Amino acid sequence: AQTVTQSQPEMSVQEAETVTLSCTYDTSESDYYLFWYKQPPSRQMILVIRQEAYKQQNATENRFSVNFQKAAKSFSLKISDSQLGDAAMYFCAYRSFGSGGYNKLIFGAGTRLAVHP
């Protein structure tokens, strides 16, 4: 069974600085998807960024980028120029690629990010 581990329960960063959130996963599959979700105090789950395992290029979305290391099964999220609105819980998630359209997401425990002015 696949597992996702986020080893940093809490992180903090100064406004305008850069922070990296760690995520490792375990799987025997070769094709899969990885995601970072943001959960602000409103509790809404917001998709930040996604990565297909068959793509070697790291995904980027504005100030958010990932460092995807397939062999090491590592998927870290880098937030550049941190803003107060980035303060939230961040979840790393894994999804199998196939299995007849099986869309189950497997989540890590989350990392709570605080942004200080």
Partner 1 sequence: EAQVTQNPRYLITVTGKKLTVTCSQNMNHEYMSWYRQDPGLGLRQIYYSMNVEVTDKGDVPEGYKVSRKEKRNFPLILESPSPNQTSLYFCASSLVGVDTQYFGPGTRLTVL
Residues that bind partner 1 (CB under 8 A): 4, 6, 9, 33, 35, 42-45, 47, 50, 52, 91, 93, 95, 100-101, 103-105, 107-110
Q: Give min distance, CB of 104 to partner 1, in A.
A: 5
- Work out whether the CA dihedral 117, 66, 111, 35 comes out positive or negative: positive
Least gap, CB of 35 to partner 1 (angstroms):
8
Q: What is the DSSP letter of 84?
A: G
Distances (CA, A) of 80 to 50, 68, 70: 17, 17, 23
In whole angstroms, the minimum distance from the beta carbon of 16 to partner 1 comes to 29
